[in-house]
Structure 1
């Protein structure tokens, strides 16, 4: 009970905080995932990004760029166009880098088994670079993303001088857009797997309660029959329906 109360307190504090991200809101493509997790008693999200294509002006001596807070020259959570990238380069003064970053999500979990369930869902959905961390205060954080070959990071300029051709910029846009399509496909698959896992988890909890209630009922009925001198030998127990007997079918999809 103490663990649950502490977790609820952490969740309330986190969800009541002001969103300090550049966008200031949850990305549309993962809003359903974030809502589902935050609506659950076992989870809450601490940070998220659906995936993005960005052009960043790194270390720069250009005061105008710094004053206008334009270190991020371009960012989108959807596909990009070649002209978006060209236009952003025209405003650069320093070392510009083009990046594609995939979906990333941090979720705090109530119990370790809750984190293990999410980890199983993430791996099953193609998010191989997923993991569980446990803090000193017992905070269990589930993190997943897709890095390695699914990320993209390419330098475009040095001290304001563009180093690549227009054709290469167009090629980068095509590659990043392909990665974005794959990223969104994995997000959709993750959402479907999460729905299935949480649904099965709910069924498991309900079926356990039903079985316990029916077990109590059978014991009480047996005692009543014995007190009346009735014999139970050879009688058929009809307290479990076919539907009850089949509740565990297909429950091992996300077994750990």
Structure 2
């Protein structure tokens, strides 16, 4: 596919996706990441496909299954902010199966126009503390970047409706989750600042004489060289994402 065809296809895909109704459970973008999502969607090289600012949840799985899956459970409590001990206990009282307390950090999926744009955003994500981020190349060369980190928390609280922990332990869990939420919000702010700086730098470095083929090549090569240097300084840890299919469409996941 020629570059112009790829650009037209990406633009059409972006327009179609952003015009769709939000079918998520919440039905809207979380307040804490609205600036990040807006910044990326206003860029010609990106658009977001799904996101969550981070949340604390208590979910109740089916008592006869050993593996709790979100599609087979009831949500006893959820918040995208810091939680309180009282809210968790109140939700837990409604447990009829095996309840689990979870903190899930910020996650963002972004479709990128090309691999150069993906590399730029990936380097920003890694530098911002989201070191479990990665890129997937799917069908028809669709490039999806997942921005993720690893500071999760998951603890069982009840079994077959019987609460297995005391309030003192729940207090401890709430404090731990709230600390993680604070760090999560700090990383989001760093990511937003990094994206803003990267987009401004990328735009300003390629604003002159772009109609000349040699200038285009020089700009692209300089951008890729800069991104290689940024990624080299921020190599990923040896642990990789779990199952790429949990977050991406069928395709090849690229990780360091």
TM over 0.5: yes
Higher mean displacement: 8-17 or 106-115: 8-17
Look up the match of 1:127: 130
Does structure 1 conserve the Cα–Cα contact (< 8 Å) formed by 2:83 and 2:174? yes
Q: Deviations for 1:8-45, whole angstroms, at most 9, x for unmatched residues?
A: 11111111111111110000000000001001110000
Measured after TM superposition, the shift of residue 211 of structure 1 is 11
TM-score (normalised: structure 1): 0.78
Q: Partners in 2 of 1:153 and 1:70 — Cα distance?
A: 15
The number of equivalent residue pairs is 210
Q: Partners in 2 of 1:34 and 1:84 — Cα distance?
A: 29
Aligned to 2:101, what secondary structure does the other structure show? strand
Q: Deviations for 1:81-125, whole angstroms, at most 9, x for unmatched residues?
A: 000110001111010000000000000000100000000000010
Unaligned segments of structure 1, at least 5 residues: 62-68, 216-247
Q: Partners in 2 of 1:116 and 1:30 — Cα distance?
A: 21
Q: Partners in 2 of 1:27 and 1:155 — Cα distance?
A: 26
Look up the match of 2:92: 89
Q: Which has the larger radius of gyration?
A: 1
Residue 203 in 1 paired to residue 204 in 2?
A: yes
Q: Deviations for 1:48-88, whole angstroms, at most 9, x for unmatched residues?
A: 00000000011158xxxxxxx98011000100000011000
Measured after TM superposition, the shift of residue 136 of structure 1 is 2.0
The equivalences for 1:1-256 within 5 A come to 1-60=4-63, 71-147=74-150, 150-206=151-207, 208-209=208-209, 252=226, 255=230
Measured after TM superposition, the shift of residue 209 of structure 1 is 2.6
TM-score (normalised: structure 2): 0.78
Q: Partners in 2 of 1:113 and 1:172 — Cα distance?
A: 41
Distance 1:210 1:59, change over 3 A: closer
Measured after TM superposition, the shift of residue 126 of structure 1 is 0.5
Measured after TM superposition, the shift of residue 187 of structure 1 is 0.2
Does structure 1 conserve the Cα–Cα contact (< 8 Å) formed by 2:111 and 2:143? yes
Look up the match of 1:234: none
* RMSD of equivalent CA atoms: 2.2
Q: Partners in 2 of 1:27 and 1:190 — Cα distance?
A: 16
Q: Partners in 1 of 2:11 and 2:140 — Cα distance?
A: 14
Unaligned segments of structure 2, at least 5 residues: 65-71, 216-221, 232-256
